[in-house]
Structure 1
């Protein structure tokens, strides 16, 4: 297969021999299993154009799950997987004391789905909100793929023999989304991997991220102008302030609840202050990821 040999050589030049061999193996397996007639040649050509491998293959491991991924919804990252599993160990709901969970900017649904899969059946009712219809469709498809029950209606917190996850299309920048989606706070756990990349950082992202993944899931200050890029306003903190105000003003967090927010590696101090001053949460912890970078602000009353 001379064409494949040439493509593999090109892939090696682009990625290095070791990565090229591994990715080629995965693409070959995906092509053999594809029900869409996608050829290996097409997959390699897409990869050479810079498209993320996960979009080409169509799946991404996340903890014990194998999630569907589709452009432009954000691809789940290993650092998000790491802190989700830590949270699953920290919080221990039971069928006798079930909890409710709200995941804002849910994307593929990776965070609540892994928690639903890890915690005991009947211990959590989870909701995921996102502004992207593509993301909500993907989250719903992932719930079906993972065997997590999706209720047909939004309902109050109730006990059952299984965990549930309800993906909902909504804009968390509009505080009325709580009412319009018929959500019933307070929630025992609030999670979010919100947009937090600054525009300066965005310009330096790899093309595989910048050109393929949804900008709305990346840019932390979406309304900032070009003239403000060099100012203190470009810090990627908009969505943390939104979440803090929802907690303080909308009563969405239970008195003994916990908030887990993924952050950029330089944002821990700023996000901690926002949660304290604007969210009125006085217990702040910072978790590092496996690469020793600040990755999560954990906030409680």
Structure 2
């Protein structure tokens, strides 16, 4: 069972064939299954279907249907990005900035929420907080709502379809966003697993990749509560440009937090 899956992945050139093979088999048979026992015919068919998708180039976590973020499981759909470990840098930055405030009844806003991973992780860490996630995609909103319920924060988490802060009149103690930040011209050169399976809506940041930050610079101030702050994810080489855009609009750059590869990933801004 597992041996055949690993063999086929290895022959296809997958570097982590053994690990991926185990995950695919466990997705069907369960983590405690006896690997020496043949699968029932319907389970064998399901495993073969999953393997066929992976061999065709679909990313592993999309084949499995969920991915872990901040120790929590998140369902995926074609309308959402996969939560990635580097984005956990935003959670680290937000929690470090909050300090002892994390126990207070804070309000949080996540723009372009996708799976809801940023907002849900923060609500998980801040048990008295409540939050609103906004996404332009109705499919992403549906998945985010399901993930909020599955991770036990559904009663404190509202998900709304919309374009950034349009029509919003509330103020928040924390605003988070992992916006699309890839320049339009670079989309075609992305890795195949990203280019063909991640939603374009969540990737394309306009001509220079900075379009969302220009919107944030002029719009987020009206939605920040006194003492509040903003945490934004950025792409490679964007720290200087994003900081300049925000500063020109009156924002103070509080700090930068680096990701697992030691690249600037999370920028923290406040108005004072």
Please report the TM-score for the alignment, with normalisation by the length of structure 1: 0.80
CA–CA distance in 1 between the matches of 2:28 and 2:167?
A: 41
Match of 2:166 among 173, 176, 179: 176
Asked if residue 144 in structure 1 is aligned to residue 134 in structure 2, the reply is no
CA 1:15–1:261 in structure 2 vs 1: closer, same or farther (change >3 Å)? farther
- State the match for 1:220 in structure 2: 205
1:246 Cα deviation (Å)?
Answer: 0.8
- State the match for 1:133 in structure 2: 138
- State the match for 1:10 in structure 2: 8
Q: How does 1:1-301 map to 2 (within 5 A)?
A: 5=4, 8-17=6-15, 19-33=16-30, 39-91=46-98, 92-93=100-101, 97-119=104-126, 121-122=127-128, 124-150=129-155, 164-172=156-164, 176-178=166-168, 184-221=169-206, 234-248=207-221, 251-278=222-249, 280-301=250-271
Q: Is the 8 A contact 2:89 2:266 kept in 1?
A: no
Q: Is the 8 A contact 1:199 1:219 kept in 2?
A: yes
Aligned residues: 259
Q: Give the alignment's Cα RMSD to 1 decimal.
A: 2.1
1:171 Cα deviation (Å)?
Answer: 1.1
Q: Is the 8 A contact 1:272 1:284 kept in 2?
A: no
Q: Is the 8 A contact 1:125 1:165 kept in 2?
A: yes
Q: Is the 8 A contact 1:63 1:85 kept in 2?
A: no
4+ residue runs over 6 A deviation: none
